[in-house]
Chains A and B, each alone.
Chain A
Amino acid sequence: GENVEQHPSTLSVQEGDSAVIKCTYSDSASNYFPWYKQELGKGSQLIIDIRSNVGEKKDQRIAVTLNKTAKHFSLHITETQPEDSAVYFCAASGHNQGGKLIFGQGTELSVKP
């Protein structure tokens, strides 16, 4: 069935370092890949997304890359700050899947000052 694997489950970096979170998906029909940042009391915020017709997308310190052949996509955060500390979820979806998002298990990112 449809599945999204996310690694690592926890990630600790020093402020200013880069952080990379990787996901793989099983359904080759997936064509939309969002990333969410979840903080206690603040809900889940859509931070960046990418569609299957694009290989890379960047928004300030955040970038996402997609390798359709390998069915991998990754989140890259550069110049990390303590406020980047949160749980990050990747997800995969497509129009033919009715908009259903299949989520990874989450990565708890800790940025140490």
Chain B
Amino acid sequence: ETGVTQSPTHLIKTRGQQVTLRCSSQSGHNTVSWYQQALGQGPQFIFQYYREEENGRGNFPPRFSGLQFPNYSSELNVNALELDDSALYLCASSLRFSQRLEQYFGPGTRLTVT
């Protein structure tokens, strides 16, 4: 059973640029959730993807968007980067519509916006 993987590990971007982060879900899982974790804070829910569609969204602007692919992997895209977007971005995979509520996290992508 493979765990959740994310790429890249670290990324430095300039304000106004766009970024794409990638996540491969744990084998057997069909749902991917994305979280933003600012320094010294708990993770904040961005959105969740199930069956290639957004299924729930937190308090994040539309410039945060995502995709889920048929193999359940996912991308997080952020347009028009702002300095406050600097954070650790975590993805978590889970098995929706089962009795299993557990979400398993990847190691994260550290994004720095300068």
- A interface residues, Cβ below 8 angstroms from B: 4, 6, 32, 34, 36, 41-46, 49, 51, 89, 91, 93, 95, 97-106
Contacts and interface: CB of A to CB of B under 8 A. Distances in A.
Contact of A103 (B42, B48, B106, B107): B42
B107 A41 contact: yes
A99 B33 contact: yes
Contact of A106 (B33, B42, B92, B108): B42
B94 A99 contact: yes
B41 A105 contact: yes
A91 B105 CA distance: 13
A100 to B, nearest CB: 5
Contacts of A89: 42-43
B105 A44 contact: yes
Contact of B108 (A43, A49, A97, A103): A43
Interface of B: 31, 33, 35, 40-45, 48, 55-56, 58, 90, 92, 94, 96, 101-108
Listed from nearest, the 3 A-B pairs whose CB atoms lie closest are A103-B42, A98-B56, A43-B107
B43 A100 contact: no
A102 B90 contact: no
Nearest to A90: B42
B45 A100 contact: yes
Interface centre among B35, B45, B105 (most CB of A within 10 A): B45
Contacts of B58: 100
A44 B105 CA distance: 6
A46 B107 contact: no
Given A89-B42, A106-B41, A99 B96 contact: yes
19 contacts: A4-B42, A43-B105, A43-B106, A43-B107, A44-B43, A49-B102, A89-B42, A91-B42, A98-B48, A99-B56, A99-B96, A99-B101, A100-B48, A100-B56, A101-B45, A103-B42, A105-B40, A105-B41, A106-B42
A113 B105 CA distance: 29
Contacts of B107: 41-43
A106 B45 CA distance: 15
Contacts of A6: 42
